[in-house]
Amino acid sequence: MNTVTAPTQLPWTQSLHTGDGRMDETHHEFVEMINRLMTTPHEQQLPLYKEFLLHTVEHFAQEERWMLATGFSADNCHADHHATILETMRAVETHYEGGDTEIIQRLAEALAEWFPGHAASMDAGLAIHLKNVGFDSVTETLADPSAIKNVTMSGCGSVTCTD
């Protein structure tokens, strides 16, 4: 008898906290959806995956709105990472519909491996930047818009960016 071991879940730990409550709430939802995908039988994953894709589109759009509102250039590498992930996610949906019913599982496992590093570097850096310029992520407003008048950030908005 073959036994299939369940993939390791991505635990929600203190290391995933960025310091921005709204960002952390969105990230917690993201992690929960990855974990649900990893425990859902392959043949039942597509509806949940489509929901996850929509959540991820909004998740990344939210962060990108914040970046633009607080002085990031539109072509920063943090947004580029988001675009790459979304492109991959859309391709995964196409492959699944084409008969590769294990691909969603593989992507969920890859995202569980990728996300902690992204959250700890790019997203934590963004959270620090938001705090430094007085941006409220709940209302999406700046306490003092002049705080970013001369700010144009490129790169990743990361505390450890090398790009």
Residue 16 pLDDT > 90 = yes
What's the whole-number mean pLDDT along residues 3-18? 79
- pTM, full prediction: 0.86
- Structure-model confidence comparison of residues 163 and 52, the more confident one: 52
Apex CA 78: angle with CA 65 and CA 49, to 5°? 80
Question: Which CATH number among 3.10.580.10, 3.90.79.10, 1.20.120.50, 3.30.1050.10 corresponds to the domain 21-148?
Answer: 1.20.120.50
Residue 6 pLDDT > 60 = no
The C-alpha atoms of residue 141 and residue 89 are separated, in whole angstroms, by 31
Can you give the pLDDT at residue 151? 56
* 158 alpha carbon, distance to own chain's centre: 14
* The dihedral sign for the CA sequence 86, 58, 82, 24: negative
Between the two ends of the chain, the Cα-to-Cα distance in Å is 49
- Residue 12, sorted as left (phi over 0), alpha (psi -120 to 50) or beta, turns out to be beta
Domain ranges of the chain: 21-148
> Among the listed ranges 16-25, 103-112, 130-139, 140-149, which one has the minimum average pLDDT value?
140-149
The C-alpha atoms of residue 81 and residue 74 are separated, in whole angstroms, by 13
**Bridge partners, residue 143, by sequence:** none
25-60 per-position pLDDT tens digit: 999 999 999 999 999 999 999 999 999 999 999 999
The C-alpha atoms of residue 33 and residue 131 are separated, in whole angstroms, by 27
Question: What contacts 109, CB < 8 A, 6 or more positions away?
Answer: 7, 38
